[in-house]
Amino acid sequence: MHRIVSRTQLSPNVTRLDVEAPRIAQIRQPGQFVIVRRAERAERIPLTIADTDPVAGTIALVIQAVGKSTRELVALGVGDFIRDISGPLGMPTEVIEKGRALCIGGGVGTAVVHPIAQGLHQRGVAVVSVIGGRSKEWVIFEEELKRLGEVVVCTDDGSYGRKGFVTDAAKELLTAGGIDIVYAVGPVPMMRAVANLTRPFGVHTIVSLNPVMVDGTGMCGGCRVEVGGETKFACVDGPEFDGHKVDFDLLADRLSTYRTQEQEAATRCGDDCRIGLQK
């Protein structure tokens, strides 16, 4: 059992839970994730370890409430317990040792970019982060990323930062030169757009994929993705891959496989869950 020690609402449907998990907090590396099970018969949910406090023995989980299971998870409060947290799982991020890195986060993907930026900063790499949201209230982890380097904020409606998409700001930075590597995490269309943007610049681009995942150890095969014409399992070979080699069409198709079942579960859950799925 893992006690929740802090709960923070980051945006209208994104919640941060800081949870006791001392062994994971001691050994996790950037890019790794955990499998969370709220209760005995609950769904297993993969979540990135967005931050850690090894001294306090806690890890930060950032959860976007888009369906029944995630809404039930974020309904927990301080003092409540999560039954199971397994990890750390997955391969650590490929972190360069010097130079300048561009970290791009869209929506809840910004929380996934954060530990990558931490790892880069700890190695003395210059970090510039470009993060985005629909409007100001959807922008997350801005202050945390500012501690690690320069931050450019983009909003679709121009209510905060600069108006436009993260790819617009990224293109300007790439055109100016001096970027050695790009890390991008967000919705599939955003990661695909970033990969297409960086390809002509010849800049190595790493994306973090989020396919359907059950056990997190490579046994179920649910998280199959195609990278460079080869089948990979995101849970053990990733979740991060070369963005220029990912088959994003196949990834998007597989993510919609259980959409009907997800909507039915949300309907049983009530109006709040249905709202989360109407994105």
Average pLDDT of 164-182? Answer: 96
| pTM for the predicted model, two decimal places | 0.89
Mean pLDDT for all residues in the chain: 91
Using pLDDT thresholds of 50, 70 and 90, give the confidence band for residue 277: very low
Is-cis flag, bond preceding 239, omega within 30? yes
Is 101's pLDDT higher than 50?
Answer: yes
pLDDT at residue number 222: 83
When pLDDT is cut at 50, 70 and 90, the band that residue 219 belongs to is confident
Banded model confidence at residue 163, pLDDT cuts 50, 70, 90: very high
Residues whose CB is less than 8 angstroms from the CB of residue 261 and which lie 6 or more positions away in sequence, other chains included: none
Each domain of the chain, given as residue ranges in start order, spans 2-89, 100-255
CATH number of the structural domain 100-255: 3.40.50.80
pLDDT for position 204: 98
Using the predicted structure, report yes or no on whether residue 256 has a pLDDT greater than 80: no
φ/ψ of residue 252, rounded to 5: -65, -40
> Which is nearest to 128 in space by CA: 190, 172, 188?
172
Q: Is the pLDDT of residue 265 over 70?
A: no
Of 274 and 235, more confident: 235
Res 181 pLDDT > 70: yes
Please compute the mean of the pLDDT values over residues 156-164 and round it to a whole number: 94
Return the minimum-mean-pLDDT range out of 46-55, 149-158, 182-191, 217-226. Answer: 217-226
Q: What is the pLDDT of residue 189?
A: 94
pLDDT(275) > 50? no
pLDDT, residue 253, reads 87
Q: Which residues on adjacent β-strands are paired with residue 51?
A: 60
- CA torsion angle 62 17 216 221 (round to 10): -50
pLDDT surpassing 60 at residue 170: yes
Assess whether the region 2-89 and the region 100-255 belong to the same CATH fold: no
- Residue 76, CB half-sphere, CA atoms under 13 Å: how many? 25
Closest-CA residue to 46 (of 244, 248, 215, 276): 215
**CATH number 2.40.30.10 is the correct assignment for the domain at 2-89:** yes
Highest mean pLDDT: which of 17-26, 61-70, 205-214? 17-26
Q: What is the pLDDT of residues 84-94, one digit of tens each?
A: 999 999 999 99
